């Protein structure tokens, strides 16, 4: 059967083929039109002092020192044009030349505009064409620079003032300048609500400038002392919404986030974990925002955990493990499988021995009584007997002191021997204040037992509980013993108070404890 009828009229088959050809042509034309429309998705003409430099267009991302390049142009006689089909998201952009940032500007909805700049005075001599965003931005820049000079002059006068009256008068003028700046920003924001620059300028206004008065009763007595703090905490992100993608390309997004996490909310480990989870749960609606917040929190507490064990009432390692386990490992789709597997293993190592948890059990832990250790001086058989001593099923149930230090050490390690002697001096000083010590020899051979016995006898460490586990090494994983010496401090219930301590830390610890008991 052919597709043509006897009268040379189009059959249904031919008609369908023509329709398909027409649709293909229409799609092709649509694609060409689309490419034509978006082939110059952004076009930024630059004129810069007749220089022949290579200029990089870039944008901030979340913080001041994270500057991401977008495009590069070589200026000829100071002129060049950035063109591209890639979408430039709204945010704060800049030019870089010779590795130095030249000046900032705004990219909003309009991606086609011109810039004429003078390197001798970017703020006052830079002009824009077809860019109302930057007309407003640079109006603010010039105002801010002028008031900044005035503020600096007042500050110098304040430093040189010779009387309280003069200082108070200058302080009032400084506050007036701050108030004037805020009012000026608010005016620009109100009159340019349809522009991205209004969002950016709003971030420069501290939310506490709108802090309401404390509630009072009819007699003028404050009825709720915590009202202002709760308001401030609730409204902290009003002027910089961390869930708005437009705010990512600013130089202080991460700073605002971390200020809330590290300063605004109460600094307790559990509180930080709860508030971080609330933020991350809301951030999951946008992949880019979630990744930015997740990485910022994760990196901050990872770095902090490497520096300090405890910061006030916060245990950074606990926060980091929480973030890794609950959020990073399940949802960090950008990470490689190898890194996530490494992270899982790291979390597994740290989870059993986190500060605040009960110390893990040590299976087949054998305690050597002082009589056995002393007898081994004269009896070789006793010294090499790996079966000697008494086995404790759960050492945590045997704790009787207010504080117990567990020291993991290796008889062949020179640093361990020095550590043990320093620790013995600490024990002598604080044993009457509730400190007991359990030492665990980590090498489970007959020779190790022999050398260990000699060391204890040489230094007469008989008041300590000297132990080892000759038949089981599982405790090494539970206590994350990758190197020795390693010291954990437990309370009377067997909970981990501190770990990775040095002997010299005990003085500060006990003084702090005594100070708390006296309060």
The stretch 241-246 carries a mean pLDDT of 96
| pLDDT tens-digit readout, 365-387 | 999 999 999 998 888 888 899 88
The reported pLDDT for the residue numbered 337 is: 96
Confidence of residue 501 (pLDDT cuts 50, 70, 90): confident
Percent with pLDDT over 70 in the chain = 91
Question: In this predicted model, what pLDDT tens digit does every residue of 188-224 receive, in sequence order?
Answer: 999 999 999 999 999 999 999 999 999 999 999 999 9
pLDDT value of position 489: 96
Residue with the bigger pLDDT between 331 and 388: it is 331
Q: Band the pLDDT of 321: cuts 50, 70, 90.
A: very high
The tens digit of pLDDT for each residue in 456-473 reads 999 999 999 999 999 889
Helical H runs in 306-402? Answer: 316-323, 329-331, 337-350, 370-375, 380-384
Question: Residue 378 has what pLDDT?
Answer: 87
**Is it the case that residue 313 has pLDDT exceeding 90?**
yes
Q: Using the predicted structure, report yes or no on whether residue 16 has a pLDDT greater than 60.
A: no
Under CATH, what is the fold of the domain 365-518? Glutaredoxin (3.40.30)
The pLDDT value recorded for residue 87 is 87
Q: What is the mean pLDDT of residues 236-256?
A: 96
Per-residue confidence band for 518, with pLDDT thresholds at 50, 70 and 90: very low
- pLDDT for the residue numbered 50: 67
Residue 1 has pLDDT above 70, yes or no: no
For 433-447, the three-class secondary structure string (H helix, E strand, C coil) is: HCEEEEEEECCCCHH
Least confident among 17-21, 120-124, 334-338: 17-21
- List the beta bridge partners of residue 490: 404, 496
211: alpha, beta or left, given left = phi > 0 and alpha = psi -120 to 50?
A: beta
Where are the chain's structural domains?
1-32, 42-129, 140-202, 226-353, 365-518
pLDDT at 448 over 70: yes
- From residue 450, alpha-carbon distances to 5, 378, 383, 384, 519 in Å are 107, 12, 5, 6, 48
Strand, helix or coil for residue 400:
coil
What are the CB-based long-range contacts (under 8 Å, 24+) for 356-359? 356/269, 356/315, 356/318, 356/495, 356/496, 357/495, 357/496, 358/396, 358/493, 358/494, 358/495, 358/496, 359/396, 359/406, 359/488, 359/490, 359/494, 359/495, 359/496
Hey, which residues does 486 pair with through a beta bridge? Answer: 408
Q: Is the pLDDT of residue 17 over 50?
A: no
pLDDT of residue 506: 85
Percent of all residues in the chain with a pLDDT value above 90, rounded to a whole number = 79
Classified as helix, coil or strand, 74 is strand
- Mean pLDDT calculated for residue range 24-40: 38
Residue 519 is predicted with a pLDDT of 47
Quick: pLDDT tens for 127-172. Answer: 999 999 999 999 999 999 999 999 999 999 999 989 999 999 999 9
Taking residues 341-347, what's their average pLDDT? 97
pLDDT of residue 51: 73
What fold does the segment set 42-129 form as a domain?
A: Immunoglobulin-like (2.60.40)
Q: Is 4's pLDDT higher than 90?
A: no
**Structure confidence at residue 514 as a pLDDT band (50, 70, 90):** low
Per the prediction, the chain carries an average pLDDT of 89
Residue 454: pLDDT over 60? yes
pLDDT at 438 over 80: yes
pLDDT attached to residue 516: 56
More confident residue, 383 or 271: 271
């Amino acid at each position: 059967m052919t597709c043509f009828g006897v009268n040379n009229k189009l059959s249904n088959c031919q008609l369908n083929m023509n329709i398909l050809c027409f649709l293909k042509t229409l799609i092709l034309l649509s694609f060409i039109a689309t490419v034509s429309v978006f082939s110059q998705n952004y076009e930024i003409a630059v004129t810069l002092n007749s220089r022949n430099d290579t200029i990089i267009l870039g944008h901030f991302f979340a913080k001041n020192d994270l500057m991401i390049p977008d495009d590069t142009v070589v200026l000829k006689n100071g002129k060049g044009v950035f063109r591209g089909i890639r979408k430039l998201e709204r945010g704060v952009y800049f030019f870089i030349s010779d590795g130095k940032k030249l000046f900032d500007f705004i990219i909003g909805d309009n991606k086609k505009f011109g810039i004429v700049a003078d390197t001798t005075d970017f703020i006052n001599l830079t002009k824009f064409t077809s860019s109302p965003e930057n007309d407003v931005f640079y109006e603010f820049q010039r105002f801010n620079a002028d008031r900044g000079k005035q503020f600096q002059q007042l500050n110098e006068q304040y430093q040189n003032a010779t009387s309280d009256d003069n200082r108070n008068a200058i302080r009032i003028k400084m506050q007036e300048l701050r108030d004037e700046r805020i009012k000026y920003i608010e005016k620009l924001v109100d009159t340019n609500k349809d522009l991205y620059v209004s969002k950016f300028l709003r971030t420069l206004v501290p939310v506490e400038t709108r802090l309401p008065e404390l509630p009072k009763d009819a007699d003028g007595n404050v009825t709720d002392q915590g009202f202002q703090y709760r308001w401030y905490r609730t409204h902290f992100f009003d002027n910089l919404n961390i869930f708005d993608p437009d705010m990512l390309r600013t130089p202080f997004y991460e700073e605002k986030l971390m200020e809330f996490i590290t300063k605004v909310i109460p600094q307790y480990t559990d509180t930080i974990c709860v508030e971080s989870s609330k933020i991350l749960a809301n951030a999951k609606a946008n992949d880019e925002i979630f990744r930015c917040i997740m990485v910022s929190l994760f990196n901050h507490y990872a770095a902090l955990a490497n520096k300090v064990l405890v910061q006030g009432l916060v245990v950074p390692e606990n926060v980091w493990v929480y973030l890794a386990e609950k959020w990073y490992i399940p949802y960090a789709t950008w990470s490689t499988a190898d890194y996530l597997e490494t992270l899982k293993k790291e979390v597994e190592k740290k989870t059993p021995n986190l500060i605040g948890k009960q110390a893990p059990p040590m299976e087949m832990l054998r305690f050597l009584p002082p009589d056995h250790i002393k007898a081994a001086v004269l009896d070789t058989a006793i010294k090499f007997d790996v079966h000697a001593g008494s086995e404790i099923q759960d050492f945590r149930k045997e704790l009787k002191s207010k504080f117990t230090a567990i020291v993991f050490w290796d008889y062949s390690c020179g640093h361990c021997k020095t550590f043990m002697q320093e620790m013995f001096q600490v024990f002598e000083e604080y044993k009457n204040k509730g400190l007991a010590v359990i030492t665990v020899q980590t090498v489970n051979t007959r020779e190790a037992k022999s050398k260990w016995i000699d060391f204890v006898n040489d230094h007469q460490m008989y008041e300590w509980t000297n132990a080892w586990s000759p038949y089981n090494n599982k405790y090494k994983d539970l206590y994350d013993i990758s190197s020795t010496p390693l010291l954990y401090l437990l309370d009377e219930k067997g909970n981990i108070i501190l770990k990775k301590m040095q002997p010299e830390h005990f003085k500060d610890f006990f003084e702090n404890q005594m100070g708390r008991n006296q309060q």
